[in-house]
């Protein structure tokens, strides 16, 4: 069986909802039924066949030509792989439970991996705001699994994150790990307001900008956790283990404005 | 006989309605055509009364538009925190009569208190109320001139961002340790004194302008108020959203089931702060037509110039758009239903200076009727 491949015919004239492009929704559908799936966001009634050339027949391996107007890529994924050649929009990997989503370009919309509980998302380029962050009204953002971003991410990364690992090879913007209740965020540099209102969880960076005074220095940190995390990252995302500080990093407990059981670890 | 003025590509025309109204009909017709042919129209601004918002939502349903209001801070910050964590809040009226400590958080709170003068007297409904204190948090040095206070106005963190002042107060209120403080900011003693002042209030009210904060800072402020309620009674008062933002969002809530922005392109309402943000839709090129409603303001924004626009504006407003229709102002030129910020309720407001101008609802209903397949 060949990978099910969706090749974009032209620039989408409107945002497209690709939440149907997951194995659980495509298995058992004929080529004609797949082409007839409604994916538009306006009255135009755009279908998958209008926008994409469709080839292949293996719904557990999906390939998509990317564009920033493609939303909900890999939403609710429960297994298999989705590979995007290019950019994606909002809600990529939202609430996914297992499987892998890879994006060769950048994530141009917010809420990458929000509410995901398992699986992995790998982005080669940058990502927008609220990576692993909660959507408005939701109790949790990322709640498991792994997100790896090769570039930098915007503001509110890991807002209300609950579990899982978010790795950013570049920089995170303002307010990373805010209102976090669990999980780990690793980045080259943490921005301002890092960890504001966090109850539990771990933020790790080479540097942190303008650390809030509600984080209390607790000395240096030499527990085995960092070595284990480094080994895990090198296995899952080669080249990212070096983001974890090597020797005696400084550790801060906080946010004392909230429960105060979170931590920020910096070189 | 009503008169409406129509500005058409810079040329102002005065036409009569109630008569064969060729020019008005033409403007309405062109507005309808412009919106009907759009793949993704947007209705923005939405500064109008209840009837106007209802008409706008009906039109949006007919043409598959996204609908947003200009008071984005109310939608993206206040209503988000309400959904995220819940809020404790009161009315201006309760704050005025009951509060023995008014806390102005951020410069917007001071500006509003002085501008609206809603707390300019101490009320007097409750003779048992103690003396009223006023406290400014992170107001950048601003102090209110029109808030009734018994004694001096105290302050904390004039040179600090609000989120930091709130965090320090929450930590010290919970008797938690805090890290090293900046030399030029308040010391621990000053923070503890303010925490004690807030805890000692019998009924404290914290005033905040959503335009000063993001959802994280407002969530922190609400968290501080919830913490204070372990020991005393404390609540918040949000600076009312501009351009009837609160009323418009309430109309949307009872009509579509959720607050603005909301999209009706799929034939059913989809609420999404990012996807249906009017400015984002227009500047990204996704929207191809805009209906701007500015009867209660604001003016047509600069970003609207990149998309064909129909503007409904009040008398004297400057607008550059494909079709500009002058409308009346509810509560001024004609009666309407608006939210009353003092009582936080809808209220009928009569016309102060009646003028023969059409209402937003009348114009939008006429546009809907002029749509291809519409029912005039």
Q: How far is A137 from chain B (nearest CA, A)?
A: 4
A255 → closest Cβ in B167, B180, B286: B167
Q: Which residues of chain B are within 8 Å of residue A43 when distances are taken between CB atoms?
A: 39, 63-64, 265, 267
Domain count, chain B: 2
Is residue B362 located within the same domain as residue B264?
yes
Mean pLDDT of B284-312: 95
- Residues B93 and B229 placed together within one structural domain of the fold: yes
Predicted pLDDT at B375: 58
Q: Is A226 within 8 Å of A250 (Cβ atoms)?
A: no
Task: Work out the pLDDT band at B297, boundaries 50, 70, 90.
Answer: confident
pLDDT at B376: 54
Contacts of B73 in chain A (CB under 8 A): none
Other beta carbons within 10 Å of B272: 18
Nearest Cα to Cα of residue B235 among B94, B84, B90, B85: B90
Q: Classify residue B248: in a domain, yes or no.
A: yes
- Give the pLDDT mean for A85-100: 98
- Residue B8 is predicted with a pLDDT of 40
Angle among Cα B120, B123, B125 to the nearest 5 degrees reads: 175
DSSP A133: P
Is a pLDDT exceeding 50 seen at residue A248? yes
Q: How confident is the model at residue B317 (pLDDT cuts 50, 70, 90)?
A: confident
State which of B197, B217, B240 marks the end of a domain: B240
B112: in domain:
yes
Residue whose C-alpha is closest to residue B289's, from B320, B269, B311, B274? B311
Between CA B144 and CA B320 the distance in angstroms is 38
Rounded to an integer, what distance in angstroms lies between the CA atom of residue B321 and that of residue B309? Answer: 5
**Beta carbons within 8 Å of B245's beta carbon, 6+ residues apart:** B69, B70, B71, B74, B75
Q: Which domain holds residue B331?
A: 3-71+243-369
DSSP A263: E
| Average pLDDT over chain B, rounded to an integer | 91
Comparing C-alpha atoms, which of B337, B335, B336, B328 is closest to residue B351? B335
Nearest CB to B220; choose among A215, A216, A257: A257
Q: What are B217-264's pLDDT values in tens digits?
A: 999 999 999 999 999 999 999 999 999 999 999 999 999 999 999 999
Question: What confidence category does residue B6 fall into, taking pLDDT thresholds of 50, 70 and 90?
Answer: very low
Task: With respect to residue B124, please indicate whether it lies within any of the assigned structural domains.
Answer: yes
- Predicted pLDDT at A63: 98
Assign A102 to helix, strand or coil.
Answer: strand
Mean pLDDT, residues B323-345: 92
Residue B1 has pLDDT above 60, yes or no: no
Burial state string for B127-159 with b = 16 or more CB within 10 A and e = fewer than 16 = eebeebbbbbbbbeebbbeebebeeebbbbbbe
Record the pTM. Answer: 0.94
**Could you give the ipTM of this predicted complex?**
0.96
Question: What CATH number corresponds to the domain at position B144?
Answer: 3.40.228
Set of chain B residues whose Cβ sits within 8 Å of the Cβ of A69: 286
Share of chain B above pLDDT 70, in %: 93
B181 touches chain A (CB under 8 A): yes
Residue B260, domain member (yes or no): yes
Is residue A147 a contact partner of residue A113, using CB atoms and an 8 Å limit? yes
Residues B58 and B107 in one domain: no
Same domain flag for B203 and B285: no
Looking at the fold, whether B86 and B155 belong to one and the same domain comes out as: yes
Q: CA angle, corner B101, sides to B98 and B102, nearest 5?
A: 95
Q: Which of B201, B221, B240 is the last residue of a domain?
A: B240
Mean pLDDT for the stretch of residues A40-65? 96
3-state secondary structure chain B: CCEEEEEECCEEEEEECCCCCHHHHHHHHHHHHHHHCCCCEEEECCCCCHHHHHHHHHHHHHHCCEECCCCHHHHHHHHHHHHHCCCCECCHHHHHHHCCEEEEECHHHHHHHHHHCCCCCCCCCCCCCCCCEEEEECCCCCCCCCCCCCCCEEEECCCCCHHHHHHHHHHHHCCCCCCCCCCCCCCHHHHHHHHHHHHHCCEEEEEECHHHCCHHHHHHHHHHHHHHCCCCEEEEEECCCHHHHHHHHHHHHHHHCCCCCEECCCCCCEECCCCCCHHHHHHCCCCCEEEEEECCCCCCCHHHHHCCEEEEECCCCCCCCCEEEECCCECCCECEEEEECCCCEEEEECCCCCCCCCCHHHHHHHHHHCCCCCCC
Q: Phi/psi class of residue B335: alpha, beta or left (left: φ > 0; alpha: ψ in -120 to 50)?
A: beta
Q: Are B112 and B223 part of one and the same domain?
A: yes
Same domain (yes/no): B104, B41? no
Instruction: Tell me: do B48 and B158 sit in the same domain.
Output: no
**Nearest to A36, CA basis, from A15, A23, A24, A51:** A51
The reply to whether B375 falls in a domain is no
DSSP code of residue A217: E
Task: Report whether A66 contacts A87 (CB < 8 A).
Answer: yes
With cut-offs at 50, 70 and 90, classify the pLDDT of residue B11: very low
Q: What φ, ψ does residue A215 adopt, rounded to 5°?
A: -105, 130
The arithmetic mean of pLDDT across residues B351-369, rounded, is: 95
| B280 belongs to a structural domain | yes
Check which CATH number belongs to the domain holding B296 and give it. Answer: 3.40.50.740
Least confident of A27-36, A150-159, B144-153, B288-297: B144-153
Taking only the tens place, the pLDDT of each residue in A114-139 is 999 999 999 999 999 999 999 999 99
Looking at residues A234-244, what average pLDDT do you find? 93
Residue B376: inside a domain:
no
- Give the Cα separation of A196 and A180 in Å (integer): 8
Tell me, yes or no, whether B219 and B98 share the same domain: yes
Closest C-alpha among B363, B348, B84 to residue B221: B84
More confident residue, A224 or B292: B292
Of A126, A123, A86, A80, the closest CA to residue A100 belongs to A80
* Residue of B76, B177, B219 with shortest CB distance to A179: B219
Three-class DSSP category at A239? coil
pLDDT over threshold 90, residue B51: yes
Residues B24-49 have a mean pLDDT of 95
Q: Is the pLDDT of residue B4 over 60?
A: no
How many Å apart are CA B27 and CA B367, to the nearest integer?
9
Query: Could you give phi then psi for residue A82, rounded to 5 degrees?
Result: -125, 120
B234 lies in the same domain as B293? no
Tell me what the mean pLDDT of segment A28-40 comes to: 96
Whether pLDDT at B13 is above 70? no
Domain assignment present for residue B374? The answer is no
Please determine, for residue A247, whether its predicted confidence score (pLDDT) is greater than 70.
yes
* Closest residue on chain B to A139 (Cα): B84
Contact criterion met (CB below 8 Å) for B156 and B188: no
Phi/psi at B155 (nearest 5 deg)? -150, 155
pLDDT value for A141: 97
What are B286's strand-pairing partners?
A: none
**CB-based contact A196 B167, cutoff 8 Å:** yes
Co-location of B260 and B348 in the same domain:
yes
Query: Is some CB atom of chain A closer than 8 A to the CB atom of B190?
Result: no
Which residues 261-300 on chain B approach chain A with CB closer than 8 angstroms?
A: 263, 265-267, 273-275, 286
Out of B178, B210, B240, a domain closes at B240
- Distance to chain A for B9, nearest Cα, Å: 28
User: What does the pLDDT read at residue B184?
Assistant: 84
Q: What is the mean pLDDT of residues B170-194?
A: 94
CB contact under 8 A, B39 and A217: no
User: What average pLDDT does this structure show over B17-30?
Assistant: 67
Residue B147 to residue B166: CA distance in whole angstroms: 22
Tell me how close the Cα of B211 comes to any Cα of chain A, in angstroms.
18
> Chain A to chain B, count of Cβ pairs less than 8 Å apart?
113
For the segment A235-245, the average pLDDT, to the nearest whole number, is 93
How far is the alpha carbon of A2 from chain B, nearest alpha carbon, in Å? Answer: 33
Q: Which residue in A136, A159, A260 is closest to B273 by CB distance?
A: A136
Q: Please give the residue of chain A at the shortest CA–CA distance from B182.
A: A213
**Are B281 and B341 members of one domain?**
yes
Of B39, B84, B167, the CB nearest to A214: B167
């Amino acid at each position: 069986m060949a990978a099910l491949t969706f090749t974009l015919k032209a620039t989408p004239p409107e945002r497209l909802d690709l939440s149907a492009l997951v194995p659980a929704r495509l298995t058992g559908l004929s080529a004609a039924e797949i082409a007839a799936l409604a994916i538009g966001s306006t009255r135009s009634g755009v279908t998958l066949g209008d926008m994409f050339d469709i080839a292949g027949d293996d719904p557990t391996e999906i390939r998509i030509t990317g564009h920033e107007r493609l939303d909900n890529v890999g939403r609710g994924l429960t297994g298999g792989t989705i590979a995007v050649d290019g950019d994606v929009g909002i809600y990529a990997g939202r609430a996914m439970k297992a499987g892998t989503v890879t994006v060769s370009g950048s994530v141009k919309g917010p809420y990458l991996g929000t509410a995901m509980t398992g699986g992995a998302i790998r982005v080669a380029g940058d990502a927008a705001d609220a990576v692993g962050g909660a959507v408005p009204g939701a109790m949790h953002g990322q709640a498991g699994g792994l997100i790896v971003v090769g570039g930098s991410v915007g503001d509110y990364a890991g807002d209300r994150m609950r579990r899982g690992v978010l790795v950013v090879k570049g920089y995170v913007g303002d307010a990373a790990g805010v209102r976090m209740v669990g999980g780990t965020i690793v980045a080259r540099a943490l921005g301002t307001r890092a960890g504001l209102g966090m109850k539990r969880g771990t933020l790790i960076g080479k540097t942190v900008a303008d650390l809030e005074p509600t984080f209390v220095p607790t000395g240096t940190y030499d527990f085995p956790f960092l070595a284990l995390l480094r080994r895990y990252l090198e296995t899952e995302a080669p080249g990212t283990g070096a983001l974890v500080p090597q020797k005696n990093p400084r550790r801060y407990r906080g946010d004392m404005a909230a429960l105060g059981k979170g931590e920020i670890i910096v070189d | 006989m009503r008169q409406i003025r129509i500005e058409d590509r810079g040329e102002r025309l005065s036409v009569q309605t109630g008569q064969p109204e060729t020019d008005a009909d033409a403007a309405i017709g062109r507005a309808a055509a412009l919106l009907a042919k759009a793949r993704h129209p947007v209705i923005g601004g939405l500064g109008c009364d209840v009837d106007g918002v209802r008409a706008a939502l009906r039109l949006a349903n007919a043409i598959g538009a996204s609908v947003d209001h200009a008071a984005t801070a109310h939608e993206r910050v206040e209503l988000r925190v309400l959904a995220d964590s819940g809020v404790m809040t009161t009315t201006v009226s309760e704050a005025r009569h009951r509060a023995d400590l008014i806390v102005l958080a951020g410069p917007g709170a001071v500006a509003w208190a002085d501008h609206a003068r809603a707390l300019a007297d101490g009320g007097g409904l409750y003779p048992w109320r103690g003396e009223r204190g006023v406290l400014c948090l992170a107001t950048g040095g601003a102090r209110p001139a029109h808030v009734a206070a018994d004694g001096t106005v105290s302050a904390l963190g004039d040179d600090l961002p609000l989120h930091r002042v709130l965090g320090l107060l929450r930590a010290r209120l919970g008797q938690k340790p805090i890290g090293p403080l900046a030399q030029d900011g308040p010391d621990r003693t000053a923070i503890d004194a303010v925490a004690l002042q807030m805890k000692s209030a019998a009924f404290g009210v914290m005033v905040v302008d959503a335009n000063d904060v993001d959802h994280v800072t407002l969530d922190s402020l609400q968290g501080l108020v919830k913490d204070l309620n372990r020991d005393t009674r404390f609540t918040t008062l949000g600076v009312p959203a501009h351009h009837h933002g609160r009323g418009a969002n309430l109309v949307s809530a009872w009509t579509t089931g959720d607050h603005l922005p909301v999209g009706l392109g799929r034939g059913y309402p989809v609420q999404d702060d990012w996807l249906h943000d009017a400015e984002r839709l227009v500047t990204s090129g996704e929207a191809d037509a805009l209906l701007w409603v500015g009867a209660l303001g604001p003016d047509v924004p600069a970003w609207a110039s990149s998309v064909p626009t129909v503007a409904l504006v009040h008398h004297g407003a400057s607008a550059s758009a494909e079709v500009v229709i002058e409308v009346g102002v509810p509560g001024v030129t004609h009666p309407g239903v608006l939210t009353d910020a003092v009582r936080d309720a809808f209220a009928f407001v009569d016309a102060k200076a009646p003028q023969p101008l059409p209402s937003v609802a009348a114009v939008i209903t006429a546009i809907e009727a002029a749509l291809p397949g519409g029912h005039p």
